[in-house]
Amino acid sequence: MSVELTPYPFDFVKRQSAARNVAGREHHVVVIVGGGVAGLTAALALAVQGVRSVVIEADDTVCFGSRAICISRRSLEIFERLGAVGDMLEKGLAWTGGRSFYHGREVLRFSMPDDENQHLPPMINIEQYYIEEYLVRALDQYSDLVDIRWSSRVSAVTQQGTDVLLDVEQDGAVHQIVADWVIACDGGRSTVREALDLHLQGTAYEGVYIIADIALETGLPTERLAWFDPPSNPGSTILMHRQPDNIWRIDYQLRDDEDPHEAVKAENVLPRVRAHLDMIGEKGTWSPLWISLYRANALTLEKYRHGRVFFAGDAAHLVPIFGVRGANSSIDDADNLAWKLAAVVKGRADQSLLDSYSTERVFAAHENLKQGMKSTEFMAPPTFAFQLMREAVLDLALDTPRVASLINPRQTSAIRYEQSSAISRDDQDHLFA
C-alpha cells in the first residue's frame, strides 16, 4: 500500500552559492563545516563579533522534518544576544510543563521554573527547519562576513602546521581551502571526525523509536505528553508535542521483535498513530507529513579541540532526545567556542584560551549524557531489570505522588564550569591580552 505524505506548510527554498571568484586555493580565517543549528549559530556568533567565516553545507536548503523541536530558555537567551530570537518567539509555541500517564491514569504533572522576572519562556516548541531558516535570515545581515556555500561537501581534511587543508566538492569539481581554524559541525556522521580518525565513545542503546509529524487541528494545549504502556501501543512509550502550524510530533517505541525497516513504512505507522489518536479522543481529520527512525545514543569525543580543528554539536557528541539536551547543547557549544575564537582571532586572547572550550563543553556533555541516559533508561528500558524498575515506579506513582518525581524527564539545567581555566583568577592574566 502506497501512502502519500502531505507537504509541510513551509517553503523549502533551494539556495545557490555565489560563484567562486578565486582561482586555485582559497584562504579563510574560519571555515565551518556543516550548516545546521550548530554551524549557523557559530557563524552568527562570530559575525556579531566581526569575524569572517565560510560555511560549507552539503544540502541546498534547511533541514527537512521537525527534528529538534524543544528550545530552552538558555538557547533563547543566546539567540536573543545574537539578534535572532524575534522570529523564533513569534513562531514558536511556549510551554512550561507536561503530564505523563500510565494505564490511562495521570501519574505525573510537572512544571519548569518560571516567574514574572523571566522575559523568555522556559521552553518553546518550533520545528528545526524554522530555527535554521531564521538563523540564515539573521546571517543575511552579515553577508560581508559570512559566506554560506550551499551544495558543497568536504571530502578530505589535513592539518599542516598552522594550516588546515580542506578538499571541497562543489559543482562537480574539487577545490582546496586553507583555513586558520575549522569548526566541525557536520553531524553524527562527521566527515571531519572520520578524516582525523576520531571516534565517539559511550553507550549506544538498542531501542528504536518511530518519529511522525502529522497535521492535526485540535484544542489540546502545548505541553509535553507521555504515555507509558498505553492501550493503543501496549508495552511501549508514546510522546506527543504540539508544534507551530497545527503540526503534532508523535514518537513511539518499537517492540524488540519489530523490524525497524518495516515498522517505519507509512502503511505500518499510520494505524499506530490512528490508534493513539482514538485512545485520547481525537477523532478529527489528520494527515502524515514526515516519518523517521530514531535510536538513542549517549556518545562523545574525549576532546573537542584537535589542533586547529574544533568539534561542536552532533559531530562532538550524540545526546538522547529525552530531556531535550541535543540541539540545546549544540547551541551552547557554538556560543561557547565563538567568543573565545573571536578573542583569539582579534588578538585579545592567547590561543590557550581555546583549550577551555574543550574542557568546559566535554564536561557539559558528560553532564548532559548522564541525565539523558537516566531519562532514556526510564523511557525505553534497555534490559529486563530496568523494565521491572520502571513498572515498580509507575505502579507506585499511581497512588503515591511523592514517587512521581522519578518519572520527570529532566529538562535542561545550568552547567557550572568550576574547573575551567577561563574562569580561574590564577589563569586569566596569561589568557587575555
Reported as half-sphere exposure (CB side, CA atoms, 13 A), residue 166 has a value of 31
Report in angstroms the alpha-carbon separations of 248 from 96, 277, 329, 368, 432.
17, 11, 24, 26, 48
Q: Kindly give the interhelix angle for 73-81 and 37-48, rounded to the nearest 10 degrees.
A: 40
- The region that residue 295 occupies, defined by phi over 0 for left and psi between -120 and 50 for alpha, beta otherwise, is beta
Residues 6+ apart with CB under 8 A from 86: none
SS (H, E, C) the chain: CCCCCCCCCCCCCCCCCCCCCCCCCEEEEEEEECCCHHHHHHHHHHHHCCCCEEEECCCCCCCCCCCCCEEEHHHHHHHHHCCCHHHHHHHCEEECEEEEEECCEEEEEEECCCCCCCCCCCEEECCHHHHHHHHHHHHHCCCCCEEEECCEEEEEEEEECCEEEEEEEECCEEEEEEEEEEEECCCCCCHHHHHCCCCCEEEEEEEEEEEEEEEECCCCCCCEEEEECCCCCCCCEEEEEEECCCEEEEEEECCCCCCHHHHCCHHHHHHHHHHHHHHCCCCCCEEEEEEEEEEEEEEECCCCEECCEEECHHHCEECCCCCCCHHHHHHHHHHHHHHHHHHHHCCCECHHHHHHHHHHHHHHHHHHHHHHHHHHHHHCCCCHHHHHHHHHHHHHHCCCHHHHHHHCCCCCCCCCCCCCHHHCHHHHHHHEC
Given this model, what pLDDT does residue 212 score? 98
Edge-to-edge order in the sheet of strand 93-95: 70-72, 123-125, 93-95
Give me the sign of the Cα torsion angle 390, 372, 291, 189.
Answer: negative
Report in angstroms the alpha-carbon separations of 252 from 119, 386, 390.
34, 18, 17
Contact 214/289 with Cβ under 8 angstroms? Answer: yes
Contact 8/290 with Cβ under 8 angstroms? Answer: yes
Residues 6+ apart with CB under 8 A from 183: 30, 31, 32, 33, 39, 42, 309, 310, 311, 312, 334, 337, 341
pLDDT by residue, tens only, the chain of 433 residues: 678 899 999 999 999 887 666 667 899 999 999 999 999 999 999 999 999 999 999 999 999 999 999 999 999 999 999 999 999 999 999 999 999 999 889 999 999 988 888 999 999 999 999 999 999 999 999 999 999 999 999 999 999 999 999 999 998 999 999 999 999 999 999 999 999 999 999 999 888 999 999 999 999 999 999 999 999 998 889 999 999 999 999 999 998 899 999 999 999 999 999 999 999 999 999 999 999 999 999 999 999 999 999 999 999 999 988 877 889 999 999 999 999 999 999 999 999 999 999 999 999 999 999 988 888 888 888 888 999 999 999 999 998 888 888 887 665 556 766 666 666 555 555 566 6
**Alpha-carbon gap, residue 349 to 342, rounded angstroms:** 9
Report in angstroms the alpha-carbon separations of 142 from 52, 83, 101, 178, 186.
9, 12, 47, 22, 22
* C-alpha cell at position 153: 561537501
CA angle 132, 128, 280 (to 5 degrees): 160
> Which CATH number is associated with domain 26-97+115-202+298-376+411-431?
3.50.50.60
Amino acid 213 reads D
Given this model, what pLDDT does residue 207 score? 86
**Alpha-carbon gap, residue 15 to 32, rounded angstroms:** 18
